[in-house]
């Protein structure tokens, strides 16, 4: 009985060993498949991230261009605003000259009117 049981045990060990080897191969294959799928997904994510980066770079460049245009317009407005006091001063001077001219014309007309020439 011991010989039969030893043989049975030996066969059982071989059976278990063979099944474990097959199971190991199947597990290795599944892990390899999973690794490939994970690598593919990471590659897809890398491509998407690169696309987003390039789009962001383009948007940033557009915004910077818009900011430069706004800055240029702001500088034009600032120089125009700085000229306003000069213009009002000149207009005030013209107003004074106009008043002086009216006074001189009125004086000349009044002088001629007194002398009876008009």
Instruction: Give the C-alpha separation, 103 to 107, whole Å.
Output: 6
Q: What is the pLDDT of residues 49-105, one digit of tens each?
A: 999 999 999 999 999 999 999 999 888 888 878 877 777 777 677 667 777 788 888
Q: b or e along 24-50 (b: 16 or more beta carbons within 10 Å of the residue's beta carbon)?
A: eeeeeeeeeeeeeeeeeeeeeeeeeee
Q: What pTM, to 2 d.p., does this model score?
A: 0.49
Q: What is the pLDDT of residues 97-107, one digit of tens each?
A: 777 788 888 88
Residues 6+ apart with CB under 8 A from 109: 118
Percent of the chain with pLDDT over 70: 91
Instruction: Give the C-alpha separation, 57 to 44, whole Å.
Output: 20
Number of H helices, E strands in the chain: 1, 0
Q: Which tokens is 64 given?
A: 């910077």
Mean pLDDT, residues 5-21 taken together: 84
């Amino acid at each position: 009985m011991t010989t039969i049981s030893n043989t049975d045990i030996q066969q059982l060990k071989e059976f278990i060993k063979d099944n474990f080897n097959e199971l190991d191969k199947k597990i290795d294959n599944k892990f390899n498949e999973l690794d490939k799928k994970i690598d593919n997904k990471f590659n897809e994510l890398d491509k998407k991230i690169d696309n987003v980066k390039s789009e962001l770079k383009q948007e940033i460049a557009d915004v910077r261009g818009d900011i430069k245009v706004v800055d240029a317009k702001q500088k034009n407005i600032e120089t125009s605003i700085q000229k306003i006091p000069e213009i009002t001063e000149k207009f005030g001077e013209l107003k004074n000259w106009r008043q002086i001219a009216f006074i001189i014309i009125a004086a000349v007309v009044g002088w001629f009117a007194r002398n009876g020439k008009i």
